[in-house]
Each structure stands twice: as C-alpha cells, then as structure tokens.
Copies of this chain bind each other. A is one copy, B any other.
Amino acid sequence: MQPFRKIAILGIGLIGSSIARGVKRGKLAERVVTFDGNPANAARALELGVVDEAPTSAAEAVKDADLVIFAVPIGAYAELGAAIAPHLASGTIVSDVGSVKMAVIRDLGPFIPEGVHLVPAHPVAGTENSGPDSGFAELFDGRWAIVTPPPGTDEAATERVADLWRSLGSSVEIMEPGHHDRVLAITSHLPHLIAYTIVGTATDLESTLQQEVIKFSASGFRDFTRIAASDPTMWRDVFLNNREAVLDVLQRFTEDLTALQRAIRWGEGEQLFDLFTRTRAIRRSIIDAKQA
C-alpha cells in the first residue's frame, strides 16, 4: 500500500501501541505520533520508540495527519472529537478501533468537518493486558479487522483503511455498523459480561473458599478469569454503548440458562445431553474455520 504521511494515534494502550508497532514494522507511514490523556503513557511510547512524536495536545497530534485513529475507550470519543475537529485537514481519514460501531458514528459523526472521512473499524484482536508496554506488532496477524463505513462514505477512504489493516496482517470484512454491533454482542460482549459476572460471584465468597477457588481454578474457572481481566474502562463503555444489542442477547441467554436450571432441578438428563452434544459441534466448526 501507499504509506500514509502521518498517522496520529489517539490513546497508546494495548491496541494503539500495537498499531504503532505494526506501522513501523510494515513502514506504513512516514511518521507516527500519539496523544494520550495520560502523559506517562505517551512518554513511555516515545521511550519505547514505537512513535516518533508525542505532542502534549490532541490538536497538535492531528495537525497535518492524513490518518487519525481513535484508540481510547468509547466514552472518551465525543470530547476528543470536539477537541480535534477544528484541526483536521481536508481529506483526512478519521478511524477508530472500538468494539462498538453505531456509537462511534453517533459520537464522532457530528464533529467530522466537510471533506474529512469517518471510517470506523474494529480489529477483532486483543489480550487481557493494558498499556503501551503490552502492545506487539503481531497482535493483528491472521485476525479479522471489521471496517464499518456509514452509508455514503467515500469508497477510496474505506479502501485506504482496509488496506492499512491488511498491511497490519489482518483479513478485512466490510460490515454495516448496526450489524457489527449485533454480531459482536454475541461473540464478544456477552461472553465478557458472563465472565465478569462469574468471576465477580466468586469474589463475593468468604475468603477461605475464595482461596480454594483460586487453587483449583484450572478446572474451568481460570478460562473466565483471563477474559474478566480485560480493561475495565473500555468494557464499561462497550456495555453502555451497545446496550440494546447486549440486553437482547442477554435475554436469550438467561432464558436458555433458566431452562437448563430447570432440567438440572428435575433431573432431565436427556435435555442436558442433547445440548452438550450440539455445543460440541460448534467447537468443531470453529476449528474447521481455523479460528481455534
């Protein structure tokens, strides 16, 4: 791809710093700069050499950038959007990495000046770690990046963003933003909510029992704790900003769980066996789709 002149990454945590590293690795921009509301993060990114500059204001960071990427929790988009809007040059592409897409259009859309292109995106990749030190260039290799242009978006701008993600190692899927939010509510938001809940339930136990839960966590619980260690601010904002889709899928889940609860109470083994057999097939599909 044709390298960008200057990429401004707003927020240099796990995802932001992984993008910066990937851009450096692929020589995808002449310059990479960052602004982070926490000056220590920006300074650390500079020290790590993953960015070229770390100006002290978002306005300064986006100046002359041909690509601006929001990599902060979604709740911070509107304020940051207002701060940078007057400093965006015509032709600039504004993108992001948020796990929710309709809210991005709602919160950033009104600030985007004429001639600037809003192309939201969501790399389906991450770890439970946070901060500039946790990033790595390989994070996006072989993963999906979903690009969700609102209706009427400039096609060349969409293609530029898609190209960036391909160059960062990902496969790109173009998706309608609302559809994205419904799919991710199932694949990501509900699993995180459930994991947070079950780990929370365990933290409420008396402390001797809690020690045993930790000791014997390898029996299943452990897998949930990894997910439930994800960034609290980011995830708070996901749930607040994809409320309808999350509540809808949560309702389905709760109905299904209640049915299972009833089957256990009444000793209906066949119903349990049937479900457990169906779910095994899904695992097989994921292995076949090389996503395991």
Complex Cα distance, B218 from A236, in Å, reads: 20
Give the contacts of A193-208 with B (CB-CB under 8 A). Answer: 193-205
Chain B residue, CB-CB nearest to A173 = B215
* Residues of chain B with a CB closer than 8 A to A76's CB: none
Q: Are B232 and A227 in contact (CB under 8 A)?
A: no
**A257 in complex: contacting residue of B126, B197, B236, B279, CB < 8 Å:** B197
A278-B200 CB under 8 A given contacts A183-B213, A273-B233, A289-B214: yes
A222-B292 CB under 8 A given contacts A215-B144, A247-B264, A282-B199: yes
Complex Cα distance, B75 from A277, in Å, reads: 17
Question: Which among A225, A235, A247, A269 has the highest number of chain B CB atoms within 10 Å?
Answer: A225
Q: Are A272 and B236 in contact (CB under 8 A)?
A: yes
* Total A residues in contact with B, Cβ cutoff 8 Å: 93
* Residues of chain B with a CB closer than 8 A to A212's CB: 183, 187
The reply on A38 being an interface residue by CB < 8 A is no
Complex Cα distance, B232 from A272, in Å, reads: 8
**A201 in complex: contacting residue of B218, B220, B256, B289, CB < 8 Å:** B256
Q: Are A124 and B283 in contact (CB under 8 A)?
A: no
A197-B240 CB under 8 A given contacts A124-B218, A227-B220, A282-B214: no
Q: Are B187 and A217 in contact (CB under 8 A)?
A: yes
A189 vs chain B, min Cβ distance (A): 8
Question: Interface on chain A toward B: helix, strand, loop, or mixed SS?
Answer: helix
The reply on A1 being an interface residue by CB < 8 A is no
Q: Are B220 and A191 in contact (CB under 8 A)?
A: yes
* Residues of chain B with a CB closer than 8 A to A273's CB: 232-233, 236
Q: Are B216 and A256 in contact (CB under 8 A)?
A: no
A84 vs chain B, min Cβ distance (A): 24
Question: Which among A99, A193, A227, A281 has the highest number of chain B CB atoms within 10 Å?
Answer: A193
Q: Are A205 and B218 in contact (CB under 8 A)?
A: no
**Apart from the given pairs A222-B291, A226-B283, 12 other A-B contacts in the complex at a CB distance below 8 Å:** A126-B219, A144-B218, A187-B212, A187-B217, A187-B221, A188-B221, A199-B279, A229-B282, A236-B272, A243-B267, A247-B261, A247-B265
Between-chain CB contacts (< 8 Å), 30 pairs: A143-B218, A144-B215, A144-B216, A183-B209, A183-B213, A184-B219, A186-B202, A186-B221, A187-B213, A187-B216, A187-B219, A188-B220, A190-B198, A191-B223, A196-B276, A200-B278, A201-B249, A214-B291, A215-B289, A223-B224, A223-B226, A225-B283, A229-B284, A230-B276, A233-B273, A236-B276, A237-B269, A239-B264, A243-B265, A243-B267
